[in-house]
Structure 1
Amino acid sequence: MGNDGGSIPRRIELVKEKQKDIRLNPDLERLAAWFHCALSKQPLEPPIVADALGKLYNQDAVIEYLLDKSAYGDADKICSHIHSMKDTTKLNLTPNPAYSEAATGAATMGNLEQDIKARFICPISMKEMNGKHRFVYFDTCGCVIAEQSLKEIPSKECVTCGKPFENENVIVINPQKEELEGMKAAMEAKKAKAKAAKKAKKAAKAAMPESDTSGAVSPPKDKKRKHHSESPEGPGTPKKLNTSGISSSSAAVVMSKVAQELAEKHKKQELSSAVKSIYAKKDVKGNYLTMGTFNRYA
């Protein structure tokens, strides 16, 4: 049939061919991972942070993501494991003296075969942090060094700041794809360990007695009640004299002294009456006259 406005189909439209795997330029991947923020895709600018999977971010981009999860469209695939800034580590990077922003920009925009100067280097081996050498960082202090330098200096203290670390604190920056699964498992195990330690610390704090801000432990409540019950009248009421401390010997001495004084007083009264009887006058009947009567007869 002709003259109907139809077209002859091509072979590509009739035969389905196997889709070819798209391979990215490894140099482009390297530049994207080591020179650009994994979240915002902008050039890395200090302050720079890294997560437990070794990805590099601009700190401002992570903060913006935490404030608004929809700020970046592919954030759920890149950093869904970041829930706070505690899930990242601020890196202590050593600047490269040979770095120049103008030269780096021209090389990035031009051909990729030209050597691009990295912005940071290893403080020990002076190797550039450009993706051609493996680098690691310590999540205890954030210091970054080349992996080869770590192997050549077998120490459990950071060679840069001297802070101690364990093997689990060494994180590879931008690891290979086959290393990611192991790093994810290590990240989950470390989070579970930290959560268990926090729970145990909280339980131990709840079991401790109450204390004030100065650190002095407050007395139990029953002792407080006992203290108030001892003085119900209040602080202004005078206390009663406690006589329970007086010994029985002291009381006996006082009582004997009082009895002696009474005996002497009684003896004086008897003596005075006897003296009066001698000098007193008698009446006709022989009775002693009283003082008034004696005066009358005198």
Structure 2
Amino acid sequence: MGNDGGSIPKRRELVKEAAKLKTASELKETLQEQQEHHWANCPLSHRPLKVPIISDSGGILYNKDAILEYLIPSDDPADVTLKADGEKILAGQVKSLKDVVEVKFQTENDRWICPITSKPLGAAVKSAYLVPCGHAFSEVALKEVAETKCLQCGEDYTVDNIITILPALPVDKERLAKRIETLREERLSHSLKKASTNGKKRKKHAAEETEANANGHVAATKPAKTGIKNAATATLTAKILAEEEEKAKRRKLERNKNIEGLFAPAKKRPMTDGDFMTRGHSSTAELRR
């Protein structure tokens, strides 16, 4: 290290160099890597994207099962931690299935392609999907065609409802942010369905409970309804609910065994009659009998 009489360090060896700014090509390469990662992986579950794939109002792609797991309530501490992480990732954009749209990609040889140009969709091509149908195209093809109906299903759409997939430019992000603000003012969700009125439902439920308690009746517990019309989604939701219920049963059983281990049966308890001086004598006499 020097300073021992044998060598003298120079100033350039002591002063740290300032961090170098990345060049335009390096920034572009980093952005390309990020885009490729997000086109291949779900940010919520950190697993590869697989059908069915859904998107929020910001154009981010997620696995549908990951969103369902996030939306289903759970008391498991591990799930609570995952939900807290999910809230940071989703940033309050997804509160129900109305806040997402299933993106429908056309596939060819295990690749997503644009139905109009037949070119692959991905990080190298600026892509978009339509709301409410969810069919995905390249943005260039949509601009050239300039139609008001989806070329896949014929459903009407407007220019405002062309959602850029994984937008990288600030202009695209601002446009999508303004769109969802306008929809919320109109009490609509990202999927153009009426936004959930959870506040009114909670007030109504609380009023019903108060009335039941005042009349001296206990309201019967009703089975929870998923409210999901799609058969595949309903089946997946039911499967996740069954798994959560099985986990809860196992935790309850383990908890009961742990509690039983803390208490000994009455026959095995040591004798506590008498004072401290005579307790041992009593135990010996009892054993002799």
TM-score (norm 1): 0.51
Displacement of 1:160: 0.3
Aligned to 1:194: 187
**Alignment of structure 1 residues 1-298 onto 2, 5 Å:** 14-15=15-16, 17-18=18-19, 20=21, 25-67=30-72, 68=79, 70-71=81-82, 74-80=85-91, 81-96=93-108, 98-99=109-110, 119-178=111-170, 179-194=172-187
Taking a change above 3 Å as real, the CA distance of residues 174 and 10 of structure 1, as seen in their structure-2 partners, is: same
Which whole-Å deviations, capped at 9, do the CAs of 1:78-109 have from their partners, x for residues lacking one? 3122111211101121112x23xxxxxxxxxx
Alpha-carbon distance change, 121 to 195 in structure 1, aligned in 2, over 3 angstroms: closer
Conservation of the 8 A alpha-carbon contact between 2:35 and 2:166: no
CA contact (8 A) 2:32 2:123 kept: no
Q: Secondary structure at the match of 2:81?
A: coil
Alpha-carbon offset, residue 189 of structure 1 = 1.3
**Once the 2 structures are TM-superposed, how far is the Cα of residue 156 of structure 1 from its aligned partner?**
0.9
State the aligned residue count: 179
Shift of 1:74: 4.8
Q: Which runs of 5+ in 2 are unaligned?
A: 73-78, 196-289
List 4+ stretches of structure 1 deviating above 4 A.
Answer: 8-16, 18-24, 195-199
Q: Compared with structure 1, are the counterparts of its residues 134 and 195 closer, same or farther at alpha carbon in structure 2 (3 Å cutoff)?
A: closer
State the 1:14 CA deviation.
4.6
| Equivalent position of 2:200 in the other structure | none
Q: Per-residue CA shift, 1:220-249, capped at 9, x if unaligned? A: xxxxxxxxxxxxxxxxxxxxxxxxxxxxxx
- Between structure 1 and structure 2, the one with the greater Rg is 1
Query: Which ranges of structure 1 fall in alignment gaps of 5 or more residues?
Result: 100-118, 200-298
User: How far is 1:144 from its partner?
Assistant: 0.9
Residues 70 and 93 of structure 1: CA distance in aligned 2, closer, same or farther (over 3 Å) = same
Distance 1:75 1:183 in 2: 21
The Cα shift of 1:13 comes to 5.4
Residue 39 of structure 1, CA deviation = 2.1
Hey, what does 1:279 align to over in structure 2?
none
- Answer whether contact 1:32 1:41 (CA < 8 A) is retained: no
- Give deviations 1:9-46, integer Å, cap 9, x for gaps: 98565547347569563442121121221322321100
Q: Using structure 2 for the length normalisation, give the TM-score.
A: 0.53
- The structure whose RCO (Cα within 8 Å, separation 6+) is larger is 2
Over 3 Å counting, the alpha-carbon distance change for 1:12 and 1:55 in structure 2 is farther
Q: 1:172 to 1:9 in 2, by over 3 A?
A: same
Question: How far is the alpha carbon of 1:2 from its aligned partner?
Answer: 7.9
CA distance in 2, matches of 1:156, 1:86: 23
